[in-house]
Amino acid sequence: MEKNIFTNAANTIEYFIQGDNPNLLIISGIHGDEFEVVESVRKSIEKNKDKLGDFVYIPIASPTAFEARNRQSACGLDMNRHFTNSCKCNEAQAIMQLLKSMKIKQCVSFHEDLEHPHFYMYDSDNMEGDECLARLRKDITELGVDLLNDVDDKDDEHLGFEFIDGYAGNIPDAEGKPIGSMETWLIKEKITDRVFCIEVPGSSSKDIKDKLVEKVLYNLVIC
């Protein structure tokens, strides 16, 4: 992997590239209070980089939020609600500037849910019935982690999606919801063909988070 630095007027974003024709984008560290999964992603990429093909990897999308261990970046905004044309979040602007000229087949974006003790994932397409999803569900439950069968967040106007056995397909939906998320922006701007947004349970141990990330990358990318 080759380390690179992207800078604009107010921000510096560290990212890595492997190969000449990246087909995969891996991102973590969008919310600074979801910091443990960042290290889990880094370890899994280091371990499996030769199996991942050509990729772009952004380990910490919001450095100021990560440093403060805060959901909001230094501008006081939740970065993942401001990937819009009228963006007022400096770090979201930096990520958009970095990625806007890229064309990548697939993105896997890693988050932690600090409330739900379950695993769940959003998919901009639909793989219900696919053997890779069935295997991922099996691998996760064998780790002792439950799959979400509920709505992600009933009180967040941007969310309210229902999950069955940890999975919701065709999100972002036809109306471009969730509004302002990086994942929605990537699809709308046709930077990636497909986005998986992964929510690892924040209450899990570091070891379980490491194993969950590795199972996700294996079943969605490597296999």
The predicted-structure confidence for 15-30, as pLDDT tens digits, reads as follows 999 999 999 999 999 9
pLDDT at 14: 96
What is the tally of structural domains in the chain? Answer: 1
pLDDT at 18: 97
* pLDDT tens string 72-119: 998 899 999 999 888 888 899 999 999 999 999 999 999 999 988 999
Contacts 24+ apart (CB under 8 A), 128-136: 128/167, 128/169, 132/219, 132/220, 132/223, 133/167, 133/219, 135/219, 135/223, 136/215, 136/216, 136/219, 136/220
Whether residue 10 is predicted with pLDDT greater than 80 in this model: the reply is: no
- What pLDDT, on the 0 to 100 scale, is given for residue 161? 94
- Indicate if the pLDDT at residue 42 is higher than 80: yes
Q: Average pLDDT over the chain, rounded to whole?
A: 94
The two three-digit tokens of residue 105, written as one number = 């087949």
pLDDT of residue 208: 98
pTM as predicted: 0.95
Q: Could you report the per-residue pLDDT of 51-78, keeping only the tens digit for each?
A: 999 999 999 999 999 999 999 998 899 9
Statement: residue 163 has pLDDT above 90: yes
CATH code of the domain covering residue 157: 3.40.630.10
pLDDT confidence bin for 188, thresholds 50/70/90? very high
Does the pLDDT of residue 8 top 80, yes or no? yes
Q: 9-24 as b/e, with b when 16 or more CB fall inside 10 Å?
A: eebebebbebeeebbb
Domain span holding position 160? 2-222
